[in-house]
Chain A
Amino acid sequence: MTSSHERRDNLIMREIKYAEALREALAEEMRRDERVFVFGEDVALGYAFTVCKGLIDEFGPERVFDTPICEQTIIGTAVGAAMMGMRPVPEIQFCDLLPMCMDQICNQAAKLRYMSGGQVSFPLVIRSPGGKWGSFAAQHSQTLDAWFMQVPGLKVAVPATPYDAKGLLKTAIRDNNPVLFIERKLLYQIPGPVPIEEYLIPFGEARIHTEGRDVTIVAIGRMLSEALEAFKLLEKDGINATVLDPRTLIPLDKNAILESVKLTHRLVIVEEGPKTGGVGAEISAIIAEEALDYLDSPIRRVAALDTPIPFNKMLEDHILPDRYKIVHAVKDLMST
């Protein structure tokens, strides 16, 4: 794997899990800036996904604390505290609960700066996991990334690896704007290389994981690992794919995608959320507007079916995208 943007060769790497990488980012930023604090449901013990586990031991209950189950007020608290110069990092335990605090995220956090003519800023990061967890059914398995791309004033990050999770979260915490930081449940316990040294990853810079000339696969969140597996399967058949992860959806590294499509002339977009009105729809439209002439075949979107997530494992697997569906889409393109 190569990276077009980060010089990682001279860093000392070790393998840690995605959840540990996030925890390191939180701890480092809390050490660096005492205005940073984390709170939410089950945060003191680090449930449900262990990210905040142990932070209370180092930072104490003033900076790591539980709230009642009241998502609207969790985010409202972050908005008010951010206005006062604090740097809140609330956790919403499942991204399916973001609709509970939609007003505070979309109407307040994202708009109060603009509506005030820039009198105040809102340095806050809302962490929340999306995607499949495995038979958690329709209210605990959703991928809602695309919803939040239509909220000017809000940044959206979707890290796919431990390395990106840590570097992007540190950047998010230092950003003076509201950031929705959407993690992935199935990635939390997946290890990956992360430098021992401190590093930051800028928003709006895609990461190119593989460079191939036949097709560009844009993959978001957990779909990156599926796309990389698809890459291996395709390679066996002599198809060389570029696998690109935008890493942040707002801002979106549109140039990286455009440049890649201009080289490969084919595009597949993979996301875990429903196809209609999804991230892939936006990226497809950008390519249609700005690089249509470069395409040798139609764009393909590999996404979830437009259905609530079913409980039954067989049904759930059926509606969600995976490596085989990506391979199928790519081969379909190559034959046109």
Chain B
Amino acid sequence: MIKKEKMTKQRFIHFYRKLSMVRQFEEKVDELFRQGKIAGTVHTSVGQEAVAVGAGEALEEKDLVVATHRGHGHCLMRGAGLKPMMAELLGKGTGLCKGKGGSMHIVDVRRGMLGAMGIVGAGLPISVGVGWAIKRQKTGQVCACFFGDNASNGGPFHEALNVSALWKLPIVFICENNLYGLSVSVNKTSAVQDIAVRATGYGIPGVIADGMDVFAVHDVVKKAVDRARGGAGPSLVECKTYRFLGHSRGDPSYGPYRTKEEWESWKKRDPLILLRKRGNLTPEEVGKIEQEVSAELSEAVLFAEQSPNPEIGDVLDDIFA
């Protein structure tokens, strides 16, 4: 548990700023997508911010992250700039990936954001290689590997957990269980409802965290990170969470496969509301943070909108090193 003396106002404000950053970023992305300014598809993490923020805060600067197609929050938590991120989502030449990756592949390798995987489950085997290299290079880093509940139904999850447990690799596997894989309830896809129990099969700790409570996520992940860094091997952390928006483009928040009642019950446990209560944040404090974040974000959107498209002549660059 977090010690009492650490739970200062400053700390609550720090965490709130991060949550607000991811929330506002994602809401802006959704808005830009609906306006047709972001092409293709986007997967936003509105509702799930506490996972990216809580876990992100449990990592050190030198640590590494392999994330998912719903990876904007993880990228932000690694410290990627708002401007290059927003520019990437708009497909601009100034984007983090020069407009070649987009929402599903947004990475900032220099900041330890190694992967946002468009293929469900693909990041798990890659994290094994990252963990193996950390161990061999003796850098003392830890790799946090994020994935969704439905990825745990696929082969790569089981292969990766087995071999990383066998080799005692410094990895923390973080399952964001938002209860739905695409439009399908975890009830209909998974033989167990607590993904964490799958850790038992690989002889590693499997812990459930309240994925709406940023400090709960932080504490559980921190413990797993310390364990990994200490050489005791990987852990599986399951964060029970919920996405407030649809799976991706045009998918409504509720209706076709989620009930309004279910959605409303989770909305009551909005990670920002929970933190406001717990930290006794005043409306003034909250308003100030949200305004600051909003101003920063507006600048980023402006930068992205004014940025040029990539040069056609660069389209063949970066295929080979």
Q: Taking the complex as formed, is A117 at the interface, i.e. its CB lies under 8 A from any CB of chain B?
A: yes
Task: Name, among A37, A72, A82, A176, the residue most crowded by chain B CB atoms within 10 Å (CB to CB).
Answer: A72
- CB atoms of A103 and B119 under 8 A apart: yes
Q: Taking the complex as formed, is A84 at the interface, i.e. its CB lies under 8 A from any CB of chain B?
A: yes
Alpha-carbon separation in the docked complex, A177 to B296 (Å) = 38
- CB atoms of A83 and B126 under 8 A apart: yes
Q: Taking the complex as formed, is A333 at the interface, i.e. its CB lies under 8 A from any CB of chain B?
A: no
Q: Taking the complex as formed, is B317 at the interface, i.e. its CB lies under 8 A from any CB of chain A?
A: yes
Alpha-carbon separation in the docked complex, A113 to B318 (Å) = 6
Q: Taking the complex as formed, is B101 at the interface, i.e. its CB lies under 8 A from any CB of chain A?
A: yes
Q: Taking the complex as formed, is A309 at the interface, i.e. its CB lies under 8 A from any CB of chain B?
A: no
Known contacts A86-B136, A115-B97; is A80 also within 8 Å of B319 by CB?
no
Alpha-carbon separation in the docked complex, A107 to B114 (Å) = 15
A-contacting 9-mer, from B35-43, B153-161, B247-255: B153-161
Known contacts A80-B133, A83-B114, A86-B136; is A73 also within 8 Å of B163 by CB?
yes
Q: A152 to chain B: which residues have CB within 8 Å?
A: 319
Query: Which of B128, B137, B162 interacts with A76 by CB under 8 Å?
Result: B128
Chain B 77-115, CB-CB to A under 8 Å as 1, else 0, gives 000000000000000000111111100010111100011
B-contacting 9-mer, from A13-21, A118-126, A161-169: A118-126
Chain B 128-154, CB-CB to A under 8 Å as 1, else 0, gives 111111101100000000000000000
- CB atoms of A117 and B130 under 8 A apart: no
- CB atoms of A120 and B109 under 8 A apart: yes
- CB atoms of A118 and B122 under 8 A apart: no
Q: Taking the complex as formed, is B125 at the interface, i.e. its CB lies under 8 A from any CB of chain A?
A: yes
Known contacts A115-B100, A118-B98; is A82 also within 8 Å of B129 by CB?
yes
Chain A 43-59, CB-CB to B under 8 Å as 1, else 0, gives 00000000000000000
Alpha-carbon separation in the docked complex, A67 to B160 (Å) = 11
Known contacts A72-B156, A73-B160, A84-B134; is A117 also within 8 Å of B98 by CB?
yes
Alpha-carbon separation in the docked complex, A86 to B66 (Å) = 17
Known contacts A84-B137, A107-B119, A115-B105; is A76 also within 8 Å of B97 by CB?
no
Alpha-carbon separation in the docked complex, A117 to B66 (Å) = 17
Q: Taking the complex as formed, is A78 at the interface, i.e. its CB lies under 8 A from any CB of chain B?
A: yes
Q: B136 to chain A: which residues have CB within 8 Å?
A: 37, 62, 86
Closest A residue to B318 using CB positions: A118
Return B314 CB to nearest CB of chain A, in Å. Answer: 9
- CB atoms of B105 and A81 under 8 A apart: no
Query: Which of A88, A107, A121 interacts with B129 by CB under 8 Å?
Result: A88
Return B124 CB to nearest CB of chain A, in Å. Answer: 7
Closest B residue to A100 using CB positions: B155
- CB atoms of B156 and A73 under 8 A apart: yes
Interface size of A in residues (CB-CB distance below 8 Å): 41
Q: A284 to chain B: which residues have CB within 8 Å?
A: none
Alpha-carbon separation in the docked complex, A73 to B157 (Å) = 9
Task: Name, among A67, A79, A86, A119, the residue most crowded by chain B CB atoms within 10 Å (CB to CB).
Answer: A119
Q: Taking the complex as formed, is A135 at the interface, i.e. its CB lies under 8 A from any CB of chain B?
A: no
- CB atoms of A116 and B319 under 8 A apart: no
Return A302 CB to nearest CB of chain B, in Å. Answer: 32
Known contacts A83-B126, A104-B122, A117-B95; is A77 also within 8 Å of B156 by CB?
no
- CB atoms of A177 and B321 under 8 A apart: yes
Q: A73 to chain B: which residues have CB within 8 Å?
A: 124-125, 128, 156, 159-160, 163
Return A110 CB to nearest CB of chain B, in Å. Answer: 9
- CB atoms of B129 and A117 under 8 A apart: no
- CB atoms of A77 and B129 under 8 A apart: yes
Q: B319 to chain A: which residues have CB within 8 Å?
A: 113-114, 152-153
Return B31 CB to nearest CB of chain A, in Å. Answer: 25
Known contacts A83-B130, A84-B129; is A103 also within 8 Å of B105 by CB?
no
Q: B162 to chain A: which residues have CB within 8 Å?
A: 68, 70
Q: Taking the complex as formed, is B45 at the interface, i.e. its CB lies under 8 A from any CB of chain A?
A: no
Return B308 CB to nearest CB of chain A, in Å. Answer: 15
Q: B128 to chain A: which residues have CB within 8 Å?
A: 73, 76-77, 80
- CB atoms of B122 and A116 under 8 A apart: no
Q: Taking the complex as formed, is A134 at the interface, i.e. its CB lies under 8 A from any CB of chain B?
A: no
Alpha-carbon separation in the docked complex, A155 to B321 (Å) = 12
Q: B118 to chain A: which residues have CB within 8 Å?
A: 107
Task: Name, among A37, A82, A120, the residue most crowded by chain B CB atoms within 10 Å (CB to CB).
Answer: A120
Return A227 CB to nearest CB of chain B, in Å. Answer: 30
- CB atoms of B96 and A176 under 8 A apart: no
Closest A-B pairs by Cβ, 5 of them = A76-B125, A80-B129, A84-B133, A117-B98, A118-B318
* 9 sampled A-B residue pairs with Cβ under 8 A: A75-B125, A108-B119, A112-B115, A114-B319, A115-B107, A116-B100, A116-B105, A117-B96, A120-B114
* Chain B residues close to A by CB (< 8 Å): 66, 95-101, 105, 107-110, 114-115, 117-119, 122, 124-134, 136-137, 155-156, 159-160, 162-163, 166, 317-321
